[in-house]
Amino acid sequence: MSADPYTDRTVLTTEAYADPTRLTARYSLYRHRTPPVDLAAIAAGLLPDAAGPVLDIGCGPGGYTAALRRQSPPSWSGPSAGPRERPHRTVIAADLSFGMVSVAGRPGFVADVTALPVADRSCGAVLAMHMLYHATDPEAGVRELARVVAPGGTVLISTNDAEDKARLYQLCADATAEVPDAPPWDRAVNRRFGLAGAQEVAGRYFASVERIDLPGEVVLTEPGPAVAFAASTRSWQPGDPFSRVLDRVRDRVAAVIAAEGAFRFGTHPGILVCR
Ligand SMILES: C[S@@+](CC[C@H](N)C(=O)[O-])C[C@H]1O[C@@H](n2cnc3c(N)ncnc32)[C@H](O)[C@@H]1O
C-alpha cells in the first residue's frame, strides 16, 4: 500500500470502490439533506447541447452516466425525436475500478483520470464528479480533462467545500480520540481537492470556470445514517479498534440528538463548469 490510502490503487479498486456497496451507504446520508439536491440531474441540465461522446470518468455506479443516457433517445426513436433527445450522443462510463464500470454499464472502460486512453479534443463533454481527490496528482487529472474535451465542449468537476460536513467529521475525530490505539480520524478527502483549490487548478487550464455552490443541511433524528457514513470510510481509517470507533460515533450522535432534538450539520458540494 502507498502512504496515502485515498489514492492507493489497490485500496480504491479492491476495497473502497470494489463495488458500489460502501459508496451507496455513504450517499444514503444525503436522503436527510435539506434542501434536497439531485447532482446528476443538475449535471445533465448543464450539458443540454453536448454532442459527441460524453465521458464520465470516475463514474462510480453510474448515477451521472444514467442521467445523461436518459437524455439520449433509444436507437429506434426515429424522426419524431423530441427536442430534449440527443441522437448523436454516446455516454461513456470510465473508472479505475472494474467493479464500478461493470455496474455503470456499456459503453465503458477502466481508466485512470491522470492518463486517459482517449484522443485529444475527442469528447463533447467530460465529467469528473467527486473523484479527483482520489487521483495521485489531481492537477494531472484536470490537465487530462482539458486535453480530451473538444473545442467548445464543457468539463464538469464536482467536489466538496473544505467545510463540508465539518461537524460530522469533528464528531468522528472526537469519537476516535476516545478509543485507545485508534489512529486519528483522517479528513483528507475534503482537504486534498476542495472546491476552492479545484477552482484555482481549473483556472489554469480553462478560459472560463463557473462555480455552482450547493450548500445544505443534513438533519438526523437517529444515529444510523451517521454511523453508516463513518463505516463506509473504513478503507481510510485503518486500525483494529474501528468497530469501537463506530460505537463511540453512535453514542455521540445519540447524545447530540437527545440534547438538541436532532444532529444537524452543514454539507457543501459544488460543481465547476469549465469551458
Ligand atoms: C466518490 S466516488 C464518485 C463516483 C461518481 N462520480 C459519483 O459522484 O457518484 C469516486 C470514484 O472515482 C473512482 N476513482 C478513484 N480514483 C480514480 C482515478 N485515478 N481515475 C479514475 N477513477 C478513479 C473510484 O473508483 C470511484 O468510483
The pLDDT tens digits of the residues spanning 184-211 come to 887 666 678 999 999 999 999 999 999 9
> How far is ligand 1, taken at its centre, from the CA of residue 79, in Å?
37
Residue ID of nearest Cα to ligand 1 atom 16: 134
Q: How far apart are CA 17 and CA 61, in angstroms?
A: 9
Of the given ranges (29-33, 115-119, 237-241), which has the lowest mean pLDDT?
Answer: 237-241
Mean pLDDT of 216-225: 97
Closest residue by CA, ligand 1 atom 18: 112
Q: Which of 4, 11, 95, 272 to mutate to test the pocket of ligand 1 (most atoms within 8 A of CB)?
A: 95
Q: What is the number of the ligand 1 atom nearest to the C-alpha of 112?
A: 20
Question: Mean pLDDT, to the nearest integer, of 140-155?
Answer: 97
Domains, the chain, ranges and CATH? Answer: 9-274 (3.40.50.150)
| Ligand 1 atom 15: residue of nearest CA | 134
| Residue 183 pLDDT class (50, 70, 90 cuts) | confident
Residue 81 pLDDT greater than 90, yes or no: no
* pLDDT per residue as tens digits for the range 259-273: 999 999 999 999 999
Could you give the C-alpha distances from 113 to 11, 90, 132, 225, in angstroms and in order? Answer: 16, 19, 8, 31
Distance 138 CA to ligand 1 centre (A): 12
Please give the number of the atom of ligand 1 that sits closest to the Cα of 7: 16
Output the ligand 1 site: residues, CB below 6 A: 12, 17, 23, 57-60, 63-64, 95-97, 100, 112-114, 129-131, 134-135
Ligand 1: centre distance to CA 131 (Å): 4
CA distance 181 to 183: 6
- What average pLDDT score do residues 213-236 get? 94
Give residue 35's identity as a one-letter amino acid code: P
Is the model more confident about 76 or about 159? 159
CB 133 within 8 A of CB 193: yes
Which segment of 80-84, 122-126, 149-153, 217-221 scores lowest on mean pLDDT? 80-84
Is it the case that residue 87 has pLDDT exceeding 90? no
Cα–Cα distance measured from residue 212 to residue 273, given in angstroms and rounded to the nearest whole number: 8
Do 100 and 17 form a contact (C-beta atoms < 8 A)? yes
Helical H segments across 110-263, by residue range: 138-148, 166-177, 188-192, 195-203, 224-232, 242-260
Which residues, including other chains, have CB under 8 Å from residue 76's CB and lie 6 or more apart? none
Residue 238 confidence class, pLDDT cut points 50, 70, 90: low
Q: What angle (nearest 5°) sits at the alpha carbon of residue 28, between those of residues 170 and 67?
A: 125
Query: 135: left (phi > 0), else alpha (psi -120 to 50), else beta?
Result: beta
User: Cα separations (Å) of 128 from 49, 55, 79, 85, 201?
Assistant: 18, 9, 33, 23, 14
pTM attached to this predicted model: 0.93
Q: What does the mean pLDDT of the chain come to?
A: 90
Give me ligand 1 centre to Cα 103, in Å.
13
CB 67 within 8 A of CB 42: no
DSSP 92-130: EEEES-HHHHHHH-SSEEE-BTTB--S-TT-EEEEEEES
Q: How far is the CA of 274 from the centre of ligand 1 (A)?
A: 19
The span from the CA of 62 to the CA of 100, in Å, is 8
Mean pLDDT, range 171-187, rounded to an integer: 87
**What pLDDT, in 10s, does the model give residues 102-144?**
999 999 999 999 999 999 999 999 999 999 999 999 999 999 9
Whether residue 74 has pLDDT greater than 60? no
- Which region, left, alpha or beta, applies to residue 134 given φ > 0 means left and ψ of -120 to 50 means alpha? alpha
Q: Does residue 253 come out as left (phi exceeding 0), alpha (psi in the -120 to 50 range) or beta? A: alpha
> pLDDT tier at 77 (50, 70, 90 boundaries)?
very low
Nearest CA to ligand 1 atom 20: 112
Q: Given the DSSP bridges, would you call strands 216-220 and 91-95 parallel, antiparallel or unpaired?
A: unpaired
* C-beta separation of 45 from 39 below 8 A: no
With bands split at pLDDT 50, 70 and 90, how would you rate the model's confidence at 76? Answer: very low
Q: Which three cell numbers stand for residue 252?
A: 455521540
Comparing 78 with 189, the larger pLDDT belongs to 189
